[in-house]
Structure 1
């Protein structure tokens, strides 16, 4: 699976530098004790087994690519990119690490750390959402501005931020990989927190697909749902199995949901009907109103 470009990507911010300290004056060897991690590093969990493997490799072959740091004070540096290499050096009991010193602002450091992790797919969905929220709040960025900086669409940013509205228990399941982002987004359509949790564990126990969960949430009150064959939802209040949803309506709903970054339902009846756009906070309502008004005035 190929990764799509993130704006201009890290290469535009941090050009790759070959490691040859005798030939490249930009590289300096810094005592590992002079270096500290970025406190706004979005990745909260580092795989200890993979870190140990990296330490063994570094012990045998050295650090192939220098880390990037910024100077805070005399003999004090903060990591911009390369925290795993720095931690592995500690683990391998290596005293000095090759580094390139850059004059970055705090905002640039946070942006680069986020982009680096997104490109490596190192972040779980909740870590990524918190990183987006931190950048937006600390540096007064709009979702559109942040989307451009990290090379994502605005709906992607909006959908990611919505995950933070889930109960802590469900966020943990998502962080652990027991639920997918698609499952979590479907759970956001359930207003009652206990019902959200109940459905979350039902997804895990019955291995429900995202589509099955969406059908359950859209068609029946949670209290009346009982599992059927192969995890297919059944209910005394469920719509008839013969009810067919127009694929054109489904396609329109999908386009609207992608555009607005939230759940949209189109209720169509022979040339008339209504469009329902869901929102889950006052801030999200403001965002939706801004999108609609901006398009109307364009």
Structure 2
């Protein structure tokens, strides 16, 4: 039987819009209700894998004072009677647990697996900052597993078709390079350039070791493809002392981004690496807040 393909973005706004319009009635299936938090579980297939503990703690602090301002969206758990699976709102669920809440306001909807994935992709892309690999995996899942065209996915999330296609292409990179991207050691621009390299991992290591720009990376790839040998990493950097390494870890955890301390006799640089404008906005917000 042919399944009608829904408009993804509009479907999400309609579903989430009902939160404010649906009266609270715990006795009506599919309505807005308070659900014991231990009966709510994360969706293991949701697109977002990485959550900033600092952001969760900030949200938890707000919830302790103001409560949960917007209900989460759940569906009945497919494999557990009386339990529910999160469709949208995992950050609120995590923060509510930290805040010590025992119940959580939730909008219950009967949704199939395709709808759950679509809503998860759209919410995360439009509302939060997925890293490029998480975003690419979500798009690929919609295209390959659920039969969406690249144009449909692009229209649904409000991105260009080239944006979707370029991100999905990043999944062809070797696992270590994809992890560099997820950890913000390289940017999406670096990763796209590395797609044309014969040995993406070797060049990625070189890019990180030398702190090369995207333009430098593109030049290296062109030189390699034209038969020229890529330059080798010169002498290895001197090992940093344990205090400097600990400081880098503390600053990275505080900012949620990779931080590098370069010290030369008490004079040096503090480098904060970001992979998107959203991440830059976030670090600026953290540095300038009272």
**TM-score, normalization by structure 1:** 0.66
Give 1:168-179 correspondences, 5 Å limit. Answer: 168-179=175-186
**Matching residue within 139, 153, 159 for 1:132:** 139
Find the aligned partners of 2:126 and 2:156 in 1 and give their Cα distance.
13
**Is 1:158 matched with 2:189?**
no
Find the aligned partners of 1:83 and 1:141 in 2 and give their Cα distance.
25
**Is 1:119 matched with 2:123?**
no
- Aligned residue for 1:149, secondary structure, equals helix
Find the aligned partners of 2:200 and 2:211 in 1 and give their Cα distance.
16
**Matching residue within 72, 78, 85 for 2:85:** 78
**Is 1:14 matched with 2:21?**
no
**Is 1:226 matched with 2:231?**
yes
**Is 1:103 matched with 2:110?**
yes
Give 1:149-228 correspondences, 5 Å limit. Answer: 149-191=156-198, 195-221=199-225, 224-226=229-231
Q: Deviations for 1:43-77, whole angstroms, at most 9, x for unmatched residues?
A: 11111222122222212221111111112364211
Runs of 4+ residues over 3 Å off in structure 1? 6-10, 16-26, 219-223
1:247 maps to none
Deviation at 1:42, TM superposition (A): 0.7
- Aligned residue for 2:136, secondary structure, equals helix
1:34 maps to 39
Find the aligned partners of 1:94 and 1:79 in 2 and give their Cα distance.
16
2:59 maps to 54
CA 1:148–1:13 in structure 2 vs 1: closer, same or farther (change >3 Å)? farther
Which consecutive unaligned segments of at least 5 residues does structure 2 have?
A: 1-7, 233-290
- Aligned residue for 1:190, secondary structure, equals coil
Deviation at 1:202, TM superposition (A): 1.9
**Matching residue within 62, 71, 78 for 1:66:** 71
Q: Contact 1:43/1:127 (CA < 8 Å) preserved in 2? A: yes
Moved more, 7-16 or 52-61: 7-16
Deviation at 1:223, TM superposition (A): 5.8
Find the aligned partners of 2:25 and 2:143 in 1 and give their Cα distance.
40
Moved more, 173-182 or 204-213: 204-213
**What is the root-mean-square deviation of aligned Cα atoms in Å?**
2.7
**TM-score, normalization by structure 2:** 0.68
Find the aligned partners of 2:9 and 2:22 in 1 and give their Cα distance.
29
Bigger Rg over Cα:
1
CA 1:20–1:109 in structure 2 vs 1: closer, same or farther (change >3 Å)? closer
**Is 1:93 matched with 2:97?**
no
Deviation at 1:27, TM superposition (A): 2.3
Q: How many residues align?
A: 220
CA 1:174–1:78 in structure 2 vs 1: closer, same or farther (change >3 Å)? same
CA 1:46–1:19 in structure 2 vs 1: closer, same or farther (change >3 Å)? farther
Q: Contact 2:76/2:83 (CA < 8 Å) preserved in 1? A: yes
Find the aligned partners of 2:149 and 2:21 in 1 and give their Cα distance.
38
Find the aligned partners of 1:196 and 1:120 in 2 and give their Cα distance.
32
Which consecutive unaligned segments of at least 5 residues does structure 1 have?
A: 1-5, 228-298
